[in-house]
Structure 1
Amino acid sequence: MPIKITVLNNGPLKIEGIEEAFQLCDASGATFDLAGKTTIFLCRCGASQKKPFCDGAHRTCNFVSEVKADANK
C-alpha cells in the first residue's frame, strides 16, 4: 500500500500506510519514534502541545483551512 497523505478540513494532515522505512525527522535530522504506527496525524494549526503531532487543539483554536486539490493539474 502506498503512503497516502490527506489534508483534513480544519484539521491535521493524516498520513496512512506508514511502514518501517518511513521516517519523520526534525530540522536537525533526528527521527521521531513511529514504532508500531501505521497512521499518524501532523498538526497544521500550530496550537498542538505534541508538535509535530496533532493533539486536537485545532478544535479549540478556531483553525480554519479547507484545501482542495485542483483537478486540472
Structure 2
Amino acid sequence: MRRVALPLTLALGAVLLGLSYGPPYGGSYSYYVANWGEIGVPNLVSAILAGWRAYDSLGEASLLFTAVIGFYLLLGGKKK
C-alpha cells in the first residue's frame, strides 16, 4: 500500500503545482455587463440576483428543506 501511496501523492502534487491559479480571461464581470439586458432588469446587481443566481438559490432552499424534513423524520416526527 505504501508503495502506491507515495508516487500517487507526488503525482497529485505535481499536477496541482502545474495548474494556473490566475483569474480567467475576462472573468464573470465582463459576461454580466455584456449580457445583463437579457434579464430585463435595469440594475446590474438585481439582474445577477434575479436571473443567474435564482437557480442557485432555489437549489439551496430545496436542499435546506430536505435536510430539515430528514432530521424531523430521523428524530421520530410528531410525538403522540
Task: Please give the TM-score of this superposition, normalised by the length of structure 1.
Answer: 0.23
Which has the larger share of strand?
A: 1
Higher RCO (Cα < 8 Å, 6 or more apart): 1
